[in-house]
Structure formats: C-alpha cells, structure tokens
A = this chain, B = another copy of it.
Amino acid sequence: MVVTNVLHMNTGVGETSYASNSTHQRKVLLKARPVLEDALKELYTDHRLSAQCLQIADLGCSSGPNTFLFMSEIIDTLHGLSKQSNCKAPELQIYLNDLPGNDFNSNFKAMPTFYNNLKEEETEDGSGRVCFVAGVPGSFYDRLFPSNSLHFAHSSYCLHWLSQVPENLENKGNICITTTSPPKVYEAYMKQFQKDFSKFLSLRYQEMVPGGRMVLTFVCRSMEDPTSKDWTIWELLAKAFLDLVSEGLIKGEDVDSFNMPYYTPYKDELKTIIEMEGSFHVESLEVFEHNWDHNDEDNVHRSADNISSLFRAVCEPLLASHFGDLFDVFEKFSKNVSDHMCQEKLMVNGIIVSLSMK
C-alpha cells in the first residue's frame, strides 16, 4: 500500500463526506486557536519577518469548512494585529497542502465565495486582494515548498498518519497496535513515527525562513505505556472486520495483512524526537482530552453513530483500497462502539505543539 496514493478523506459534500463529518476536527481546530494566535502574534512582531508577503502553509488541509475556518482564522488574526499596530496588513499567500487524492476541486470551487467575503478586508488603497490561495498536492514527508520561503506552517490532525505502514509487521487479527500486539509491533510503529516526524521537521526547516513558526495538533497517547487503552477504537474497528470474516464476506488473511499507517506518540516521546532532530524549539506543548464523539451525546447509539461516521469519512478510501468492498463494516463498528460505551466513554487525547525555528 502506497499511503501517498490511497490516503485521503471522503470527497465531496455528501452524507458520508469528510466535509459533512468533520465537526470533531473543527473542535480540535478551535481548541488550538489560542496557541495559533500566540504564534502568529510572535511571527508578526518578529522584525526578521518584515516581508511584503507572509507565506503560510496548512499541511493536510483536507476539504470542507475546516479548511476555510483555518484560513479565516489566519487572516482575521493578522489583520487584527495590523490594525492594532496601525500598519498596512501584509499580503498573505496561503498554501493548502494535502495528498494528491484530496478533493482540492471542492475547495477551489468554494474560493470565489471565500474571496468575495474577504472583499471587506481588502486594503483601503484599493490595491486589491490581500490573500492568495494555492493548492499544493504532495506528502508532507517530502519537500513541498522552495527553500527558505515559508513563514508559518500549520497542521491540524494529520501527523498521526505515517508515511507508510511499518514493514514486516506480524500483527494477526489486528489492524493497528492493540493491547495484545507483540512488543515488536509497537516498536516498529514507534520507529516509523520517529523517522517520519524527524523527517517532517528537517524538511520544514529547509523550507522555512529564520524566525519561522509552526503549530501542530494531532492525536497523542494519554500515557507512556504503549499498550494503553488509547488503541481501543482500532480494536473495535478490527472486530468489525473479523465479523465480516466470520460471515465469509472477506478473507482472514486480508485482515492479517492490513495495518493502519497510524501512530500516536506520548508527549515525552514527542519532545525527545524534537530535541534529537534539533531544528526547532518547543515554545509550548499542551495535551487535551476530548470525546471521539464531537457531540458527547448521552445516548450511546447516537454517540456511536457519530464516531462511526467520523471514522468512515476519514478511513473509507484507505480501507477500500485494501479490502475492496467494505460491506456493512461501519454499521458493525458503530455497534461495537456502542457496546463498549455502555461501560465507558471513548476518549481521545490531542497534543498542540508550538515550535519556532532555531
């Protein structure tokens, strides 16, 4: 499986699309807002960065309302800072990056409306548009931008995706790390994450200007223990696939040979990687817990459906690239989630890291 070719959120704006099922991610984006604003403020007041145009990247932008929420947030914050300091707002070039299978067309079709709404924000001298948006297809585990060009990079809820599934995994009956996975499975995943995240940092270091800043938000583990209950959600999805196997709809070997390109580090693990790689200072690091269900519903069935819809919007193309027909796996998954939630809620931890270039 070449992750770059098959990983993307569900396209379009339909019932199962990412655009219609990304309230969870919206909440994460709003959670990170104060950190984002602080980083932009420091960027704005850094006199090394008196550029006529600030170059900003959203790495893993996906499509739909969250993509536009991020851009509005950036523009509003920087315009607010300009007003406060009585300066003309800088021009902004915002790069929306995601893998080549992402639905850029949906974002691009919404751009005329976005630009029209921005008109009020145009410079008073009538010199026109102050924000220029471009789409950049490619993996953030590769170079994406010219050297020494980027002022600010942002990534929300993407860096838990690995560049590839670790090689030679023996993880039968599972589709990710589980509490019962052999230690070698955890170690292989951890090493892949270390390699990927280090590469991510060193690539961005090449692309950024001195004084450049990054704010990264992604899923993390709540505890150091690698076999923690943070993996429960994937066990419940694996169980749904195993049910399909027992019904003779898919083959057991298809489950055995599939593993998610997904890993969530513990905060100390992340700090160590950043220090070892050496390109960036950690300005702040914050862990938060929230419900996988964005609505935090009391009704376990509705709650389970919300979670299943979220996972479907995010994972369906990836899973379909391996299994082909997915039958009613997301209904089964919802049932498993619902059963589990009779005992306890399904929580998830996120980490917000603010970094500055050394």
Q: Which A positions have Cβ atoms within 8 angstroms of B?
A: 4-5, 52-53, 91, 93, 95, 100-105, 108-112, 115, 127-129, 132-138, 142-149, 206
Contact = CB atoms under 8 A, between A and B. Distances in A.
A91 B146 contact: yes
Given A100-B109, A108-B104, A136 B132 contact: yes
A137 B111 contact: yes
B100 A112 contact: yes
Contacts of A93: 145-146
B104 A148 contact: no
Contacts of A145: 93, 132
Given A103-B105, A146-B93, A111 B128 contact: no
Interface centre among A53, A93, A100, A128 (most CB of B within 10 A): A100
A129 to B, nearest CB: 5
Contacts of A110: 100
B52 A146 contact: yes
Contacts of A112: 4-5, 100, 138
14 contacts: A53-B146, A53-B147, A53-B149, A91-B147, A93-B146, A101-B109, A104-B135, A105-B105, A109-B137, A112-B138, A129-B142, A129-B143, A134-B136, A135-B136
Q: How many copies does the complex hold?
A: 2
Given A132-B144, A133-B137, A135-B136, 18 more contacts: A4-B112, A5-B112, A52-B148, A53-B146, A91-B146, A93-B145, A93-B146, A100-B108, A100-B109, A100-B112, A102-B108, A108-B137, A111-B138, A112-B138, A128-B143, A132-B143, A134-B136, A135-B137
Contact of A135 (B4, B91, B135, B143): B135
A146 B134 contact: no
Given A52-B146, A128-B143, A129-B143, A100 B111 contact: yes
Contacts of A101: 109
A4 B113 CA distance: 12
Contacts of A103: 105
A5 B109 CA distance: 8
Contacts of A128: 142-143
In the complex, the 7 A-B pairs of residues with the closest C-beta atoms, listed nearest first: A108-B137, A53-B146, A134-B134, A135-B135, A129-B143, A105-B105, A91-B146
A111 B4 CA distance: 11
A121 to B, nearest CB: 14
Nearest to A149: B53
